[in-house]
Structure 1
Amino acid sequence: MRISTVTMFEQSVSSMNRQQGDFMKVGQQIATGRRVVNPSDDPQAASRAVGVSQSQAVTQQHMDARVSARNALSQSESVLNSVSDAIASGKTLLVQAASDTLSDADRQSVASELRGIYETLIGQANATDGNGRYLFGGYKDDSPPFIRNGDGNIEYIGDENIRAQRIDASRLMPVADNGAKIFQSVAIGAGYLAEAGQFDVDGNRTGGNAGSVTFKGPQVTDPADPDFGETYTLTFDEDGDGNPTFEVTASDGSVAADGAYAPGQPIAFGGLSLTLEGTPEAGDTLRIGQAEEMNTDLFRSFEKALAVLENPATTPAGKAELRNSLNTVMREFDNGLDNVLTVRASVGARLNELDVVDAVGGNRMMNYEQTLSDLVDLDYAEAISEYSLRQVGLQAAQKAFVDIKGLSLFDYLR
């Protein structure tokens, strides 16, 4: 068989190109640090690597979301800490104002300090996250959630929902509580409250009593009583001789207790006990109910305290109004503080949960990185050995081409 010079040249060039291609491929792997540079290098590994990379990207998104959630919750926790301090300071002032040694001028000074706390509390309720988003407005976070209405009272206009953020594939975490839950609610099991005054059919207070009756309690004596949990109204009247009497009626109109009024004598009804002092007038009333059925608005509690402190208490009825109102507001402050602390504890629990989810997410990311490395990363020791081998092969092909190129019949012609 005759082999032409052209065939020898073509085979030599083809061998050099193949050797050079293999040599450059290994060089590219070393330069990039990846065994699979192109999908054709290992189609199965490349396909699996795409799936792992997508999972890695989703995990990274959740990690970024947890950073955002942690910032929002940390800011909420800081504000709630300030709110709880404000409520505690407000109650301290009310305890001071309830002292009989204070004059009206002294109580005016206490009211001035309490108003400062009140305005601070409104500012905290309208706190932002530093990016212009209001913390306690729910999903309506582009405007202040609390405003003063036409009557001068604080009104919540935010969203009733709780803003949430997905921090993991299976966890949608609330990252901000709405203001109604924090400032206009009480914790479950807050107990009973009593309030003296005149009330409309909806239970809203419309005025004070004419007499000088003050109350202590109510105290829970029998939670197993079948009527426990009802809302009651205690009304004073007079018998035929002008002696004061009382009647306690439940919300359905049934009479729970009645009889002659005796100062200092406890009145029992519906698993509760209420002790009264002072002299009532016919028509004076007290409303007794569970905390969630009474005033749950923390701002209204401040307003009630300010109203009674800023008015002189010179008459027996005025002094009774002062004592009763302060007693009621102090209990409302206690309930409000318990509620804020409950929400704050929930925020703290979510921050702890973020730490746990972060640890799990970090381990998951490490597993993805290890899997991705096993699929596409380069074994440098093996690659360098392969690189040296391909270099020798290329040099051998080049040397063979040089030797073959020198073979010609013309060299033997004389």
Structure 2
Amino acid sequence: MRISTAQFFETSTTKYQNNFSSVVKTQEQIDSGVRIQTAADDPVGAGRLLQLQQQKDMLLQYAGNMNSIKSSLTNQESVLDSINTALQKVSELALQSGGGVISDADRKSIADELGNIEEQVFSLLNSKDESGNYMFSGSKTDVAPYVRNNDGTYTYQGDDTQLNLQVSDTLSLAASNTAKSIMEGSVNTGRTQAVLQPPSVNDGKVAVSDGLISSNQTFNKSFAEGQPYTLEFTSSTQYILKDATGKDVTAEVPGNGQFDSTKEGAHSVNLRGVKFDINLNLADVPAADLDAAVKGHVFTLEAKPDSFNASRSPGNPSTAQVTGATVTDAKAYGDSFPGNGAVIKFTSDTEYEVYAQPLSANSKVIGKGSLSAAGDSLTAVGVKFDLSGAVKSGDQFVVGANNHQTQSALDTISQLRQALATPSDGDLVAQQKQKNAINSAIGNLQNASAGIDNARGSIGARLKAIDIQASENVSMGLANDSTMAAIGNTDMASASIELSFQKAMLEASQLAFVKISQLSLFNKL
């Protein structure tokens, strides 16, 4: 085999260059502290480093998410604390207004103070975060949670969707709380009523208060199926109680139909989870005539019927209003009336269509009909709607239903304010209505405060979970950094030994290159 001078030269040159490159590379690894300069240096290690870097980036994102959640929850907790303080003040005012020694002027002053608190709570529930998003609207962050209706009631416009953020590979936490879950689920303790039946006239002398729910479970299980009940007085100390079928249920009530209106706690009717109070105002009636004055008064005891609130769309071409609504077909109403409310849309001056709220391009008609005359009423989905004024094509009305099962604190404060603003001095009937409103408000405010306390407890639990997860993420990050260092960082001792060896090889190849470059076949001639 023949080896030319050029081959000797090229071989020695290549070895020299390779050794030089090795020295330079090792020197760079020592200077930078990074062992894997390119993926070719260690394909397996480079792949592992890429995975670890991705995990590190995710940990940084999780840390950002946790900071966002903590900020959001802390702000919400502060707002809820302010709302709770306001509700406690309302409870104090309700108890104060229930005293028998205050006048209409005193109650009016309390009502004015309640109005200010009502505005405060309304504003707090519609609070925004630092980004301008509503805190308590769920996923509808650009929509105010509550709006005030024309009749003074309030409607929740958000949804019940909590916004979640990932804080680890396997855990996500809610960064928000919805006003629906906090406020709208409060049990309404005052959702039953006592109605005096004709021919008796309601002059306030013989009265039965609206009921207060003492056990929601018993009410749903037993009271509801037996209503309406009839309470008939047989004397000034006795009554008979029957259910809707006429069955005598007097024996179910403590006292077995006996009562004493002059003693506190001895004139209550505790029927299947609902408490009614008997109030006799017969100071001007001779003792001998008391039984005759009371006997024959009959009251029905039952849940309050559903009520409705209606509002006209701002862009309506007419000034017509929906002035009232009454259930005419209980089955059709129960089966068809939308839970979120209905939209009545007039397609002409007389023809209308009914949709479920909210109305969209894909909404389906759930009822339709036509008016027979201007200002007429219309009936759809089991409800009769009364109209005032002539409607026009394009008019829309939104109607919401209230089954009184739950009640928000806003509506409770509003109802209490309105009741206390109504004069009642010397009016027994008005005084009984005020007493009903006060007693109902006290119970409902307790339930509302309990709902807020539960929400604050949930916030505290999530903040605690964030602290625990943050510690775990920090530990994972430290382990990640240690592994990345072990894989990607230069082992200085090994690299120094390797560099010395490579330098020796470089010097040897350099000497060999010098010798070989001086060789020539002509020297042998």
Identify the TM-score tier after normalising by the shorter chain.
Answer: 0.7 to 0.9
Q: Which residue of 1 aligns with 2:493?
A: 381
Cα distance between partner residues in 2 of 1:34 and 1:120: 61
Alpha carbons of structure 1 residues 198 and 273: separation in structure 2 relative to 1, 3 Å: closer
Q: Which residue of 1 aligns with 2:53?
A: 53
Letter matched to residue 79 of structure 1:
V
**What CA deviation, in whole Å up to 9, does each residue of 1:7-64 have, x standing for no partner?**
4432332222011110121123234422222222222222333333333333433333
Contact kept, 8 Å, 1:196 with 1:324, in 2: the verdict is no
Cα distance between partner residues in 2 of 1:388 and 1:252: 106
Q: CA deviation at 1:332?
A: 0.7
Alpha carbons of structure 1 residues 198 and 161: separation in structure 2 relative to 1, 3 Å: farther
The yes-or-no answer on 1:303 pairing with 2:303 is no
Q: CA deviation at 1:356?
A: 1.4
Cα distance between partner residues in 1 of 2:437 and 2:28: 83
Cα distance between partner residues in 2 of 1:271 and 1:150: 34
Contact kept, 8 Å, 1:298 with 1:336, in 2: the verdict is yes
Q: Which residue of 1 aligns with 2:446?
A: 334
Q: Which residue of 2 aligns with 1:106?
A: 106
**What CA deviation, in whole Å up to 9, does each residue of 1:264-313 have, x standing for no partner?**
43434336665433248946566579xx9644221111111101111112
**What CA deviation, in whole Å up to 9, does each residue of 1:146-205 have, x standing for no partner?**
112233321011113333233322223222222112112127xx9x65765659xxxxxx
Contact kept, 8 Å, 1:162 with 1:177, in 2: the verdict is yes
Contact kept, 8 Å, 1:234 with 1:249, in 2: the verdict is yes
Cα distance between partner residues in 1 of 2:111 and 2:418: 9
Cα distance between partner residues in 2 of 1:307 and 1:301: 10
Letter matched to residue 339 of structure 1:
G
Q: Which residue of 2 aligns with 1:390?
A: 502
Alpha carbons of structure 1 residues 8 and 219: separation in structure 2 relative to 1, 3 Å: closer
- The 3-state SS of whatever aligns with 1:313 is coil
The yes-or-no answer on 1:150 pairing with 2:150 is yes
Alpha carbons of structure 1 residues 336 and 252: separation in structure 2 relative to 1, 3 Å: farther
Which protein has the bigger helix share?
Answer: 1
Contact kept, 8 Å, 2:212 with 2:440, in 1: the verdict is no
Contact kept, 8 Å, 2:185 with 2:408, in 1: the verdict is yes
Q: Which residue of 2 aligns with 1:24?
A: 24
Alignment of 1:78-157 (within 5 A): 78-157=78-157
Alignment of 1:28-47 (within 5 A): 28-47=28-47
Q: Which residue of 1 aligns with 2:482?
A: 370
Alpha carbons of structure 1 residues 2 and 157: separation in structure 2 relative to 1, 3 Å: closer
Q: CA deviation at 1:398?
A: 3.0
- The 3-state SS of whatever aligns with 1:168 is coil
Alpha carbons of structure 1 residues 210 and 389: separation in structure 2 relative to 1, 3 Å: farther
Alpha carbons of structure 1 residues 370 and 252: separation in structure 2 relative to 1, 3 Å: farther
Alignment of 1:9-408 (within 5 A): 9-186=9-186, 193=190, 210-211=203-204, 213=207, 230=224, 237=232, 248=241, 256-257=249-250, 262-263=260-261, 264-270=266-272, 274-279=276-281, 282=297, 294-314=405-425, 315-406=427-518
Q: Which stretch of structure 1 is more off in the superposition, 368-377 or 176-185?
A: 368-377
Contact kept, 8 Å, 2:214 with 2:273, in 1: the verdict is yes
**What CA deviation, in whole Å up to 9, does each residue of 1:204-258 have, x standing for no partner?**
xxxxx6425475986969x99996564766655566xx96975656688865338
When normalised by structure 1's length, the TM-score is 0.81
Cα distance between partner residues in 2 of 1:408 and 1:65: 73
Q: CA deviation at 1:68?
A: 2.1
- The 3-state SS of whatever aligns with 1:267 is strand
Letter matched to residue 269 of structure 1:
L
Cα distance between partner residues in 2 of 1:390 and 1:150: 89
- The 3-state SS of whatever aligns with 2:164 is strand
Cα distance between partner residues in 1 of 2:160 and 2:244: 29
What is the identity percentage for the equivalent residue pairs of Structure 1 and Structure 2? 24
Q: Alpha carbon RMSD of aligned pairs, Å?
A: 3.8
Q: Which residue of 1 aligns with 2:331?
A: none
Contact kept, 8 Å, 1:219 with 1:274, in 2: the verdict is no
When normalised by structure 2's length, the TM-score is 0.65
Cα distance between partner residues in 1 of 2:467 and 2:487: 30
Q: Which stretch of structure 1 is more off in the superposition, 155-164 or 168-177?
A: 168-177
Q: CA deviation at 1:95?
A: 1.8
- The 3-state SS of whatever aligns with 1:343 is helix
Q: CA deviation at 1:94?
A: 1.5
Unaligned runs of 5+ in 2: 197-201, 252-256, 282-293, 305-402
Cα distance between partner residues in 1 of 2:278 and 2:446: 22
Unaligned runs of 5+ in 1: 200-208
